Amino acid sequence: MNIVVFGGSSSIAIAISKKLAKSNLKVFHVSRSGNLPGEVEHNCSKISSLKMDLADENQSLKIWKDLISRIEIHSIVFAQRYHGDTENFLKMYQCDVVTPFKLVEELCRFNKDVERRIIFFTSPGGRLVLQSQNFQYHATKSAISIMNKYFASGVIENLISNAICPSSFVYKSRAEDFYKKNVDYFKRVSSAIPSRRYTQIDDIAIMAEFLLIRAPNTINGLEITLDGGLSALDHSNIINRFNPLDKKP
């Protein structure tokens, strides 16, 4: 089975590529530079690099058509995120929505009898307002959620599509020094999460692997939130956990 993972140096994309390779799958790890991150390059010979910039639709389609004409691609993971000017709505939308849509359509023109699986990555910002993000971010994430449902609706035969929505509180190894210097903050946030811990990158990779190779095809059109139960809480539950008075009127 051949799987394409978009995401470049993203820790999530790297973890997914490594996880899939350990399952003896052939992985094409896509980045704008075309270089494999060190963690991937020295990890497994089953991971190959592919250079593509999703903000450039024409060039991406050219590279994509060449790839799928030579190799049977079974699944795609879209774990990329636009890294340009966040005020440039058209470029962001092109990278995260338009080009991925075109790539999926193009793939499904080949051998329609083969089941394909797609994973998109969404955000709480697709349905809620995150004060740290602008409108363009929210509109793009909302569009990804709809695109996932659209592809899962049967509009394309033998296409299974699901989305993973990581928590706003994913443990980042690059921020380890911050956590150590702000232990109280780390503990307070962890205590507010029902599972009492941050979402780990490996949690996300495990879910991606499951959806791509183990899940029955009846799991289709879902947006699976990995946040330890945080989104199941009413806002008052969260606020009360940080109430210094430990009581309310």
Arithmetic mean of pLDDT over the chain: 92
71: tokens are 């190799």
What pLDDT sits at residue 237?
75
Q: What angle do CA 116, 146, 206 make, to 5 degrees?
A: 50
Each residue of 186-243: pLDDT tens digit? Answer: 888 898 899 999 999 999 999 999 999 999 999 999 999 999 999 898 877 777 776 6
Higher pLDDT, 189 or 245: 189
What pLDDT sits at residue 233?
87
102: tokens are 């075109």
In the numeric block, the tokens 């971010």 are attached to 137
Domains of the chain, residue spans: 2-171+199-228
Give the mean model confidence (pLDDT) for residues 168-180.
88
CA 3, CA 13: separation in Å to the nearest integer? 12
At 181, the pLDDT band (50, 70, 90 cuts) reads very high
The domain defined by 2-171+199-228 folds into: Rossmann fold (3.40.50)
What pLDDT sits at residue 167?
86
What pLDDT sits at residue 143?
98
At 35, the pLDDT band (50, 70, 90 cuts) reads confident
Q: Closest Cα to residue 97, out of 62, 138, 153, 141?
A: 141
Predicted TM-score (pTM) of this structure: 0.93
Number of other residues whose CB lies within 10 A of the CB of residue 56: 16
Sequence-distant (6+) residues with CB within 8 A of 6 are 13, 30, 52, 54, 76, 77, 78, 79, 80, 100
Q: What type of residue is 131?
A: Q
What pLDDT sits at residue 185?
87
Q: Are 16 and 5 in contact (CB under 8 A)?
A: yes
CA 19, CA 13: separation in Å to the nearest integer? 10
Each residue of 124-161: pLDDT tens digit? Answer: 999 999 999 999 999 999 999 999 999 999 999 999 99
Q: Closest Cα to residue 231, out of 185, 165, 140, 138?
A: 165
Long-range contacts of 231-238 (CB under 8 A, 24+ apart): 231/124, 232/194, 233/194, 238/192
What pLDDT sits at residue 15?
94
